[in-house]
Homo-oligomer: A and B are copies of this chain.
Amino acid sequence: MNTVTPSTHERILHQGLALLSQVGLAGVTLGMLADRVGMSKSGLFAHFRSKEDVQIGILTYMGQCARQQVVAPAVQAAEGLPRLQALVQHWLGWAPRAGLPGGCPVAAALFELDDVDGPVRQQVLAMEREWRGLLTQLVRQAITLGHFRHDLDVEQFVWELCGIYLSHHAAQRFLRATDADARAHTAFQALLARAQPPRVRHRRGNASSACPPTRCTRRHPREAQEHH
C-alpha cells in the first residue's frame, strides 16, 4: 500500500494546478500529471481514483488559492464600495500573481466545458456560482451603505463585471495587450458610475468617478490611460 502524506498530496495539487492553468482540463490526465510530478500512474492512484477526481481535486485547490490571493486581501478594505474595488483589483490578473503560469482555470473552463455534463462541469458551475454570489453580496452591501443606488439591478452589475473580467483575460493573455489593466479599469469605473446614487453623480459632476473621497486608492481612468 502506498503511503499518502499530506505533502505529496499538496505537491500533486500544486503541479496539477500549474498544468491545468496552461493546458486546460482536457490536458489534465493521470498520465500527464504523473509525468509532471515525476511519479508513476499507479502512485497517483493512491491519491486520486480517476481523471475526474484529479480535476475536481485541482479545481478545489484552485478555489483555496483564489481565496488567499483575491478574497483575503480584499476583506481588509472597508465594507461596501471600497471592498468591491479591492476585490476587483485583486481579481483581475490574479492567476499569474498566484504563480500560475497559465490563465485562470475557471475562466477557461467556462468555454471548455460548456458542451459536456458530469461532475467536473458541476464543480466549475458550483465555483462560478459561489464567486458570483460573493460579488452579489458585496454589491448589495454597497447599496445598503448608500454607495450605490437602491434600484440598482445587482444581477446585471455582476453580469457586466464578469464580462470585464473575461475581456481582460482575453486581452492580457491571448492578445497579449499591454493596456489590458487600463482598459479594464476604465470599463469598471464606467460600471461604477452607472451604479452611483444620482445625487453623487450630480454633486461630483463627473459620471466616470465612483470612488468615495477618502477610501479610493485606484487611479482614475484618465490617469490610468496616461500611464499606459
Say whether A173 faces chain B, with CB atoms less than 8 Å apart.
Answer: yes
Give the contacts of A13-36 with B (CB-CB under 8 A): 21-24, 26-27
Say whether A162 faces chain B, with CB atoms less than 8 Å apart.
Answer: yes
User: Which B residues are in CB contact (< 8 Å) with A155?
Assistant: 183
- Contact between A167 and B175 (Cβ–Cβ < 8 Å)? no
- Contact between B183 and A190 (Cβ–Cβ < 8 Å)? no
CB distance from A154 to the nearest CB of B (A): 12
Say whether A159 faces chain B, with CB atoms less than 8 Å apart.
Answer: yes
CB distance from A108 to the nearest CB of B (A): 4
Residue of B whose beta carbon sits closest to that of A159: B183
Give the contacts of A114-157 with B (CB-CB under 8 A): 114-115, 124-125, 128, 153, 155-156
Residues of A in contact (CB 8 Å), total 44
Say whether A110 faces chain B, with CB atoms less than 8 Å apart.
Answer: yes
User: Which B residues are in CB contact (< 8 Å) with A159?
Assistant: 167, 171, 183, 187
- Contact between B128 and A115 (Cβ–Cβ < 8 Å)? no
Query: 1/0 per position for A49-63, CB-CB distance to B under 8 A?
Result: 000000000000000
CB distance from A176 to the nearest CB of B (A): 9
- Contact between A128 and B174 (Cβ–Cβ < 8 Å)? yes
Say whether A83 faces chain B, with CB atoms less than 8 Å apart.
Answer: no
Name A residues whose Cβ lies closer than 8 Å to a Cβ of B. Answer: 21-24, 26-27, 101-103, 107-115, 124-125, 128, 153, 155-156, 159-160, 162-164, 166-171, 173-175, 183, 186-187, 190, 194, 225
